[in-house]
Chain A
Amino acid sequence: MEKIIRVYSSLIKRNLDKPELVKVLIRLGLEVAKVWVDYVGDKNAPESLRYLNSICFKFILEPLRDPNNSAFVNLLAPTEILHSMDIYPLFIEAYSSFISGFYCEDTFIDKATTEGISDTLCSYHKTFLGALELSVLPRLKFAITSSILCDGNSNTFRYIANRYRIPYYIIDVPYKYSEESVRYVVSQLKEMISIIEAISGKRFDIDRLRDIIKLENKTRRYLKLYLENLKNHTMPNSITLEMYKLFVTHPYIGREETLKFFKLLAEDTVRYPDSGYRIFWIHIMPYFLYPAQRYLNFNGDFKLIGCDLNFDYLEEMDERKPLEAIARKMILNVNNGDFKRKIDNIKGLIVDLKIDGVIHFCQWGCKQSFGGFMLLKREIEKMNIPFLAIDGDAVDRRNNPEEQINTRLSAFFELLNQRGKRW
């Protein structure tokens, strides 16, 4: 399989002087991958996760197939509003991940940095900006982003919008929660909606948004049931599939497919007994790194229980006041505000899910995350839970000292074996 992707990758790289062709090639690659996932897929994965794999390809293909009815978004953009208006979001971090999956990230990143973008910027953003600079990115109708979770968002979106001359909207999410900050975000959401109405020619219907929030609440109930079931069961998992969950815990929550997935997932979980060491992952996952795959993908001894990013907001939303509910969701996201919020959330999950070891991935360029890793490490070690921090890059293979990562992970798992289970 890798050989086929490598051939496809070199085809893309050889044709970068023909951007229209490359656009088609990228879409075609994703279309083929979706067919493969639907009919072959990963035989090790439970049914729910196979379904997840399939809907993620569906979600990424929708905006590529229909760019005139689509918008660029970031992980924490209020996509519920887009779902209610039947507009497809293109989640830029996912696009970059797929480019990396096609072994093309190096060329895209080099293009962005040659144009002057800092090489120490997060590689998700660099890859996406590289696609823009190479003109292989489709021109969507508009762009929306929230100022959480990192500084890159507003700048990347402004850059895309200025380059493609498309409207954009940055939602300034305050750092602290108050009724006044909720009002501030709501007023921005209203302003954004009227801009979207003008660009798309579609009418916003608050009742339709209420339906989306209802669906989202229902989905989140299954997510919580899944968390509950995880306390006594460990299901087969992989770092790639855990990353795919970001699609459904964030931009695509509020979609019927997502509801179906979490229902399946909650049902699947109870089919597996509790076994092995329970590993919890902090921040994003380098799905292509062999040492991480070796230990965590469908492994009998070390079970990947989850990733903190997938559990950053678990509250019920007020269906009667959907805009206020979205504003609250953004302001109260555990990754907004003081780092203590994030630490407390992780500590709670460690206890609830009886975690034996924590791995923190310090993503290249992600200052909001690795800037606080020492604070997190101290708190987790106080709980007598082994903590490992790895420096690397989940997009750009070149930024991963694979041998060192292998040694660190091996030593960490040896240490876990010596210490025995924590709970």
Chain B
Amino acid sequence: MVGYVCKYTPYLVIESFGEKTVRIEPETNSCEVANALTHPNMCSYAKLVLEDIVKKGIDKVILTNCCDSIRRLYDILETLPFIKFLHIIDLPRRRDQKGKFIFKNEIIKLITRYEDFLGKSFNRANLRDLLNNMPSSTEKRYRDLNIVLIGGRCRDSLIKIVEEFGGNVLYNLTCTGNKPSYRPIGMNEDPIEAYANILLDSYPCIRMDDTKERVDIFKDERRIDGAIYHTVKFCDLYSYEYASLKDKLDIPLLKLETDYTDTSEGQIRTRVQAFIESLKKSINKRENTTKREKRLIVAGIDSGSTSTNVVIIDSEKRILGYSIIPTGARSVESAYKALEEALKIANIKIEDLSYIVATGYGRIGIPFANLEVTEITCHAKGAFFLDRDVRTIIDIGGQDSKIIKIDEEGKVIDFVMNDKCSAGTGRFLENMSRVLEIPVERMGEESLDWKEDLEISSMCTVFAESEVISLIARNKERKDILHALNKSIVKRIVSFIERIDGEPKYMMTGGVAKNAGVVRCLEERLREKVIVPDEPQIVGALGSALIGLEKLEDG
């Protein structure tokens, strides 16, 4: 079995020797072997490939010099004793005749090396047969909701998530996506040259000299409803294209970054689901339906990573009761407990509820909910209900921070969300409260009395902690350190707000909104008032209850 990674690898050449090939798709989530062999900040994908090769004992590998990380992967593999065959193809960046000539010769070099390795001759007819059996490009299948998936390499699971929520991946322009368009090779044609041409004629990856074809597909905008731009942590190449595209496209664009493991799949699901929900809303005009006269009571459950919150409302949108409890080890139990508590306050029984909507991290696992909706849609709904002038919602929860931009009808226009990193979230403050020995709930108040304007430059939880320790060692006042932490959180929030061109009025929700120091710093940075609801932690649950009510009213 010969492993390869790049879509430009002429793997059929190897198969023409009767050998099997496999495109390496790492399934592991850990990098312990790779971290010992290279630097931890290498591209996550390259590290996982290294891990996979070592763990699965793939002893024959063909790489291309496609990027810095893969080049170094080649150098590392060269030192591993179990590798029997290792070859790197010098892939040209040019796709014109000059590039194709170079590439053809590179394929010949690979053939010669493999002939030596196997002690077997290459057969052109075999390659021609294989090429002639490959499918030519298939007709694009347009459906109701067409998505372009573009950017760096992604796992197949991302495509499945998009499809699960009703999206049709019309184009897949990630490294693993678009297949070359094969064509019949005549008897008088050199199959090696033809193969080189076919591979270089496929949609260019970002490494290529001329990448215009990649963005040309968006000329088909009227048939495309949205795009998802995926990047891999520590692979920077595609961020240039994202930066150029994001302001040019007229269609909604969702930016996702993963480390190529499935550890952040829950978060990715939420974001993809919210994105597709917002696309669907803009596609389907809501029909006016008659309202039911019956008194309806709806519960919204926000099952978050830190707290579980429940709001119960009636058909007049009055809050009958609510609860906030810490999320325990089992989110379902916490949801049930929080619901019971809110029912008690509202003085009603569970049977009185007409509808239950779940949102938040644990929304999928709540069996008694009638509907699940992402917290992005719910926060937008809740915040707009509380103040119709709000245009930007800043929701900083236990492990997520989200900035949501809404229009004058309360619909989500755009949003950003942190990735796996917990910088600037409630978790960040919790860590710091431990280091500074102060309860989380007192941090905000104490920071308001700051005197010395200290700086904590790092936004990373781990690095910031060591900076805080240094400040403690220098006998700095706790209130000043707290103020510096607030500024650091706000800096991150503001960069998110800028990313979606956030506009006033601003509303802050989530547990961190209870920290008066963060709110004041944010107001100073934005030079705008930031509204904090009386109970900022229940806005998501309130929004989900409102969505439930609309659902019932719409029939």
Contact = CB atoms under 8 A, between A and B. Distances in A.
A341 to B, nearest CB: 10
A339 B88 CA distance: 13
Contact of A118 (B37, B68, B98, B231): B231
Interface stretch (B233-241, B282-290, B547-555): B233-241
Contacts of A150: 68
Interface in A349-365: 362, 364-365
A151 interface: yes
Contacts of A375: 75-76, 79
A373 B76 CA distance: 10
B145 interface: no
A170 B495 contact: no
Interface string B55-95: 00000000001011101111110110000000010101110
Contact of A110 (B71, B246, B495): B495
Contacts of A172: 92-94, 99, 209
A27 B468 CA distance: 37
A121 interface: yes
A154 B93 CA distance: 10
Contacts of B170: none
A115 to B, nearest CB: 5
Interface stretch (B39-47, B344-352, B393-401): B39-47
Contact of A176 (B42, B76, B90, B239): B90
B246 A116 contact: yes
B255 to A, nearest CB: 7
Interface string A147-167: 100111011101100100000
Contact of B237 (A155, A174, A184): A155
Contacts of A147: 93
A398 B492 CA distance: 14
B498 interface: yes
Interface in B205-243: 206-207, 209, 211, 231, 233-237, 239-240, 242-243
A397 interface: yes
B93 A371 contact: no
A109 to B, nearest CB: 11
B54 to A, nearest CB: 14
A374 interface: yes
B236 A365 contact: yes
Contacts of A348: none
Interface in A132-187: 147, 150-152, 154-156, 158-159, 162, 170, 172, 174-176, 180-181, 184, 187
Interface residues of A, number: 52
Contacts of A106: 457
Contacts of B206: 155
A114 interface: yes
Contact of B244 (A162, A373, A398, A403): A162
Contacts of B243: 115-117, 159
A173 to B, nearest CB: 9
Contacts of A364: 41
B105 interface: yes
B458 interface: yes
A403 B470 CA distance: 8
Residue among A113, A362, A364, A371 with most chain B CB within 10 A: A371
A175 B68 CA distance: 12
Nearest to A379: B79
Residue among A113, A151, A152 with most chain B CB within 10 A: A151
Interface in A388-410: 391, 397-399, 401, 403-404
B466 interface: yes
A180 B102 contact: yes
Interface string B375-391: 00000000000000000
Nearest to A120: B234
A417 to B, nearest CB: 26
B123 interface: no
Interface in A172-231: 172, 174-176, 180-181, 184, 187-188
A174 B92 contact: yes
Contact of B499 (A114, A121, A154, A401): A114
Contacts of A373: 38-39
A388 to B, nearest CB: 14
A95 interface: no
A387 interface: no
Size class of the B contact interface (CB-based, 8 Å): 35 or more
Contacts of A122: 236
A391 B460 CA distance: 15
A403 B42 CA distance: 24
B39 A401 contact: no
B69 A371 contact: yes
Contacts of B165: none
A404 B466 contact: yes
A370 B39 contact: yes
A381 to B, nearest CB: 14
A150 B88 CA distance: 17
Given A159-B244, A162-B244, A184 B102 contact: yes
A174 B88 CA distance: 12
B72 A116 contact: no
A58 interface: no
B368 interface: no
B495 A118 contact: no
Contacts of B92: 172, 174, 184
Contacts of A155: 206, 237, 240
A96 B327 CA distance: 47
Interface string A326-360: 00000000000011100000000000000000000
A294 interface: no
A114 B90 CA distance: 35
Contact of A174 (B90, B240, B470): B90
Nearest to A156: B240
B71 A368 contact: yes
Given A151-B67, A367-B68, A374-B38, A117 B209 contact: no
A110 B41 CA distance: 20
A276 interface: no
A31 to B, nearest CB: 30
A375 B50 CA distance: 15
B142 interface: no
5 contacts: A116-B242, A118-B236, A184-B102, A368-B68, A370-B38
Given A154-B93, A339-B72, A372-B72, 14 more contacts: A114-B495, A116-B246, A151-B68, A175-B88, A184-B92, A187-B98, A340-B78, A367-B72, A367-B234, A370-B41, A370-B42, A371-B42, A371-B69, A371-B73
Interface of B: 36-39, 41-43, 46, 65, 67-69, 71-76, 78-79, 88, 90, 92-94, 98-99, 102, 105, 206-207, 209, 211, 231, 233-237, 239-240, 242-244, 246, 255, 457-458, 463, 466, 470, 495, 498-499
